[in-house]
Amino acid sequence: MAKTALVTGGAGFLGSWMCERLISEGFGVICLDNVGSGSWRNVDHLIGKKNFKFIKQDVTKPIKIGGNVDYVFSMASRASPVDFDEHAVDILMTNSLGTKNALDLARKKKARFLLASSSEVYGDPLEHPQKETYRGNVSTTGPRSPYDESKRFAEALAFAYLRNYKVDVRVARIFNTYGPRMRKDDGRIVPNFIMQALKGRPITVYGNGSQTRSFCFVDDLVEGLVRLMLKDGLSGQVTNIGNPREFTVLEVAKLVKKLTDSRSKIIFKPLPKDDPARRKPDIAKAKKLLGWEPKVPFEKGLLETVDYFRGLG
Ligand code: UDP
């Protein structure tokens, strides 16, 4: 019998690619989303397929599903720093109560559980690159705390369900990921720079642009998550999933300008508070555990993403 997977946040950027991937592999997919930051457009082409079911619901409400569920992908949450202020309470509740509801369902259905956690659990890291053993440098009250601390709580909760209730849990710490289906107005670096470049508006580098990030194309990311979920014997494993090729923000601005053939100026704006200075995953564990490493070069993935944004008109 076909296995069934629940994807919370399934209409979001990452969640919708996950739904699509699982459907292509013959899973029955239940997508649960309140279509807050996610979008109907992301799942439009899946609605009506016989192995796809959409439940419009906020994940902070108890999840009731009849029948079997074999896998729970917990992928609901806004993830853009521009939302960390306006949607602070929502983010905290989604990652705490929402994760609890997804874990309760996994417990009830005896399903495997994968938490989409984040490199933000490392905060503004003092260790570089970041290994899974690093415990982080996080403000409990700063502007990024709603996301950072609720992801940390979600990891703790997942491990509590493992210890207390023997739920099979796996944690993926996702580093900066980009690709088609990010929102135009998402606010994160890749959509922001691409939209600015395409419209000939100034490309806004925050600070002096010397801070670094490492960017993973969404296909690579989904492949890593699927392997972490499907491989037997990995309960209780925490793994970074990301691309270790590191760029400064200024390099990204120049690259986007070049790839879009844009005449936009690069301008400098104040650096947001607590913006991490450096970020790069150590992926030795993912390589060993999952035989996984990213394959898509940043330039190639960016071009695909540019095409997507161009297509939106
Ligand atoms: N950034 C920037 N200009 C923008 C958007 C982002 O310089 O228009 C910088 C931001 O300050 C950070 C990096 O790009 O240093 C990545 O930001 P993003 O919001 O994508 O996510 P983060 O990695 O900070 O969670």
Q: Which atom of ligand 1 is nearest to the CA of 206?
A: 7
The predicted structure's pLDDT at residue 36: 96
Cα–Cα distance for residue pair 52/63, rounded to 1 Å: 17
Q: What residue owns the CA closest to ligand 1's atom 11?
A: 206
The predicted structure's pLDDT at residue 1: 76
3-state secondary structure of 137: strand
Ligand 1: which of 121, 147, 203, 206 to mutate, most ligand atoms within 8 Å of CB?
A: 206
CA of 276 from ligand 1 middle (Å) equals 9
Confidence of residue 313 (pLDDT cuts 50, 70, 90): confident
Mean pLDDT across 166-192? 98
Contact (CB, 8 A) for 191 and 180: no
pLDDT digits (tens, 9 = 90+) for 41-50: 999 999 999 9
pLDDT digits (tens, 9 = 90+) for 99-112: 999 999 999 999 99
| Ligand 1 pocket, residue 188 CB under 6 Å | yes
Mean pLDDT across 59-87? 97
| Ligand 1 pocket, residue 213 CB under 6 Å | yes
Ligand 1: which of 176, 189, 275 to mutate, most ligand atoms within 8 Å of CB?
A: 189
The predicted structure's pLDDT at residue 154: 99
* Max Cα distance, the chain (Å): 58
pLDDT above 90 covers a percentage of the chain that reads 99
The pTM (predicted TM-score) of the whole model is 0.98
The predicted structure's pLDDT at residue 285: 98
pLDDT above 70 covers a percentage of the chain that reads 100
